[in-house]
Structures are given as structure tokens and as C-alpha cells.
């Protein structure tokens, strides 16, 4: 299992109305983005394949917010952030699920009106993490892509097949070039001729010499 990080701006998160952003305001927020709501009807949902999920947010000074978490059809769990009398706090764990069966799950997050709606109370959602299913894990990232796996496999297979073929073609070409040079360098053998105009003894004997008559 690998931990996958999902930023609050990831399109896999489905938001209801009532949210706004304060991006780039706090450098300590993940990717310097944050989604905020003071609307009691606001919420979001997220589907994932894995065995656990966690939600993180930020708590500004003098702010207390309540959030409610429903995993699949389980009983909702409620978290109320403590009143922060200090500086702005990022990366605060708001919810941690129990161990889940490996498979698809849906987390629904709401901001009930028991606290949300007060002038000094807003819910700051930063990011979530989940333990991905075996075979679906990726390196932690703020934008998890679920497409392009076929292209990555093809880009691995093509070089593995193409490179040996190119090496074989180059070897055959080199052998063909070597045989041509060897054939051109071979000497041409021509029969030797005697000054008398007759062929050598290997092919024909000269006529017999006549004796002088006394």
C-alpha cells in the first residue's frame, strides 16, 4: 500500500456550493491552496480504492469549526476543532478512518449548522490522503492521474522489441559489406604464355625438335 495525497483542488473531489478559495495566502498550506466554507449546507465527497483515508485542514486564529464524516454507509463521525488562540495552523488532522476492506469507498464530508454559520467560524479544508489498493498505488502527488497507463506500457515494450531488431540489421549489413570487400580484393589468375607463343607445359607440350640430316 502507498499513501496518495489529494490536494483540495483535485477534480476528483466533488464539492457542493458554498465554498471559496484563499490560495497563496498561507505558505504552510499544502500547495499553498485552501478551500473554505462558512455555509452550513456545504460539503464534498471523494471516491477511492484503498484501505484507509485521512482528511487534513487548517485552523486560523480564534476559529472553531465542526465537520462531519460519513464513510460509505457507516455512522457519521464528528470532529470539532479546538479554539485556536495562537497563530495559523496548517496540516491539522481532522479525520482518520478505521481500517477498511480493500476496495472502492466513498467519503462524504459535511459542515453541520450546529457551529458553522457563526461569524467567527469557518471550515478550512486543505488535502486528504488515502492508502491505495495494491497495484493502484502511486508516488504521493497532488494530482493523481488515472489515465495513460496504456501509453506507458507501450513506451516500455516498443524499445525492448525495436533495439534488438536494429542491432541484428546492423550486424547483417556489416557482414555483407565485409564479403564484398573480400571478393573485390581476391587476385585474378591468368595463364602464362611462353615467348614461343605456346601454352605452358601444364596445358600443352611444344612440338618435337627435328634432328639435322648429315
Question: What integer pLDDT is reported at residue 65 of this predicted model?
Answer: 79
Q: Which three cell numbers stand for residue 136?
A: 493502484
Query: At which residue does the C-alpha cell 454559520 appear?
Result: 117
Q: Give me the CATH topology for the region 3-146.
A: Jelly Rolls (2.60.120)
User: What phi and psi, each to the nearest 5 degrees, are found at residue 30?
Assistant: -60, 125
Helical H segments across 60-204, by residue range? 149-185
| Partners of residue 138 on adjacent β-strands | none
Distances (CA, A) of 75 to 7, 8, 80: 26, 24, 17
Judged against a pLDDT cut of 70, whether residue 70 lies above it is answered with yes
Average pLDDT in the 191-199 region?
41
Distances (CA, A) of 14 to 59, 78, 150, 177: 22, 20, 27, 66
Q: Report angle CA 116, 90, 133 to the nearest 5 degrees.
A: 95
Question: What integer pLDDT is reported at residue 168 of this predicted model?
Answer: 73
| Domain extents in the chain | 3-146, 147-183
Question: What integer pLDDT is reported at residue 199 of this predicted model?
Answer: 40
Judged against a pLDDT cut of 80, whether residue 33 lies above it is answered with yes
Exposure letters 176-196 (e unless 16+ CB within 10 A, then b): eeeeeeeeeeeeeeeeeeeee
Mean pLDDT score across all residues of the chain: 75
Tell me the pLDDT tens digit for each residue of 102-142: 999 999 999 875 455 455 678 999 999 999 976 444 444 43
Q: Please report which confidence band the pLDDT of residue 40 belongs to, taking 50, 70 and 90 as the band edges.
A: confident
Average pLDDT in the 68-77 region?
94
CA-CA distance, 178 to 172, in Å (whole number)? 10
Amino acid at each position: 500500500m502507498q499513501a496518495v495525497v489529494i490536494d483540495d483542488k483535485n477534480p476528483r473531489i466533488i464539492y457542493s456550493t458554498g465554498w471559496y478559495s484563499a490560495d497563496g495566502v498561507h505558505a504552510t498550506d499544502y500547495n499553498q491552496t485552501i478551500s473554505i466554507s462558512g455555509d452550513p449546507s456545504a460539503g464534498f465527497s471523494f471516491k477511492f480504492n484503498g484501505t484507509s483515508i485521512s482528511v487534513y485542514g487548517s485552523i486560523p486564529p480564534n476559529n472553531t469549526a465542526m465537520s462531519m464524516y460519513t464513510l460509505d454507509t457507516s455512522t457519521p463521525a464528528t470532529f470539532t476543532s479546538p479554539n485556536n488562540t495562537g497563530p495559523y495552523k496548517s496540516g491539522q488532522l481532522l479525520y482518520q478512518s478505521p481500517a477498511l476492506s480493500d476496495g472502492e469507498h466513498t467519503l462524504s464530508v459535511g459542515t453541520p449548522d450546529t457551529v458553522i454559520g457563526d461569524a467567527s467560524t469557518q471550515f478550512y479544508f486543505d488535502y486528504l490522503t488515502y492508502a491505495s489498493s495494491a497495484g493502484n498505488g502511486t508516488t504521493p502527488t497532488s494530482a493523481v492521474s488515472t489515465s495513460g497507463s496504456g501509453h506507458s506500457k507501450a513506451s516500455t515494450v516498443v524499445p525492448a522489441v525495436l533495439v534488438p531488431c536494429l542491432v541484428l540489421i546492423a550486424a547483417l549489413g556489416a557482414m555483407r559489406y565485409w564479403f564484398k570487400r573480400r571478393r573485390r580484393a581476391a587476385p585474378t589468375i591468368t595463364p602464362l604464355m611462353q615467348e614461343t607463343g605456346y601454352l605452358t607445359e601444364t596445358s600443352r607440350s611444344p612440338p618435337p625438335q627435328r634432328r639435322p640430316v648429315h
